[in-house]
Structure 1
Amino acid sequence: MGNRIFSGGVWEERYGYARAVVAGPWVIVSGCTSTIDGEVRHVGDVRKQALTAFGIALDAVERAGLTRDDVVRTRYYVVDPSHYDEVGAAHAQLFRHVRPVCTGVQVAGLIDPRMLVEIEVEAYRRDEQVPAPRGLPEEPQGEGVR
């Protein structure tokens, strides 16, 4: 079933889940918000909430022995669609050089109305024997699709 990583967050114990699970080469991190020691941080500031949530998720990735460079997928959930750009800017600040796949989703609400964003992260332990794909451009050529 893999190794479990716990952050000590109040929701983990209350709802019976782990912050992250290491399953083979994968590290799959539960949804993270800007809640620390049971308190929502940066109320009203979605960018700071996103950076805090990403920090909690990346801490779990690092505790599993991987780094930000091993992140291959991120997801973020926002209640207000006008927050996509701010969360996207926080994502770019952290992952511009990594370029994981990313999905942004609008949801009806999160568990606490002060929470503006929830983040999920998945990382993959790469086998150093496998060569990187060839023939793909380093940077996107043209406009991306959101």
Structure 2
Amino acid sequence: MRRTISTGSPWEPRVGYSRAVVVNDTIYISGTAGDGDDAYTQTRAALATVESVLTDNGFALADVVQSRLIVADWDHWEDAARAHGEVYGDIRPAFSIVHALPFVDESIRAEVEAIAVRTTP
């Protein structure tokens, strides 16, 4: 069973992607940016959105098995990574950090992606 989740963003049909895709007990969450003026704040906001997508679809943050953090300004990767660690500290999913410059919107400092497997009731 495959189900797509949309935010209604005009980018989704234009680029051909979904906010997330659920296949059986796995959810794949696309690159998610957050609001704020710096990498730390944007990462925390993006992770809050990820958590919301998870919980709205029957998953928990603890179900995340893989996370990717993409940063635009390598000088501030530690700020974004600190936000990631505060959220996922005890969960400790598989993780990678990628430097990508520039984002489509130059105000974006960080994005996060996640894959979760439903293991909680």
| TM-score of the aligned structures, taking structure 1 as reference length | 0.76
SS in 2 for 1:55: helix
Q: Which amino acid letter does the alignment assign opposite residue 22 of structure 2?
A: V
Q: Distance in 2 between matches of 1:127 and 1:49?
A: 28
Q: Does the 8 Å CA contact 1:5/1:63 hold for their aligned counterparts?
A: no
Aligned to 1:124: 117
Could you tell me which residue of structure 1 aligns to residue 105 of structure 2? Answer: 112
Structure 2 counterpart SS, 1:66: coil
The alpha-carbon distance between structure 1 residues 80 and 127, as it changes in their structure 2 partners (threshold 3 A), is closer
Aligned-partner residue type, residue 32 of structure 1 = T
- 1:27 counterpart residue number: 27
Aligned CA RMSD, in angstroms, stands at 1.7
Amino acid corresponding to residue 36 of structure 2 in structure 1: H
Distance 1:93 1:10, change over 3 A: farther
CA contact (8 A) 1:7 1:60 kept: no
Unaligned regions of 5+ residues in structure 2, if any? none
CA distance in 1, matches of 2:120, 2:107: 41
2:73 matches 1:80? yes
Query: Is the 2:68–2:114 contact (alpha carbons within 8 Å) kept by the matching residues of 1?
Result: yes
- Residue by residue over 1:12-53, the C-alpha shift from the partner in whole angstroms, topping out at 9 and shown as x without a partner, is 24423211000122100010012xxxxxx313x111100111
Q: How many angstroms apart in 1 are the aligned matches of 2:9 and 2:106?
A: 18
Corresponding residue number in structure 2 for 1:58: 51
Which amino acid in structure 2 is aligned with residue 4 of structure 1?
Answer: T
Larger radius of gyration: 1
How far 1:127 moved relative to its partner?
A: 8.1
State the partner residue of 1:97.
Answer: 90
* TM-score normalized by the length of structure 2: 0.90
Higher strand share: 2
Report how many residues are paired: 121
Aligned AA (1:72): V
Letter in structure 2 aligned against 1:42: G
| Residues 1:49 and 2:42 are matched in the alignment | yes
Which of the pair is proportionally richer in helix?
2
Q: Alignment identity in percent?
A: 29
Q: Which has the higher contact order (CA 8 A, sep 6+)?
A: 2
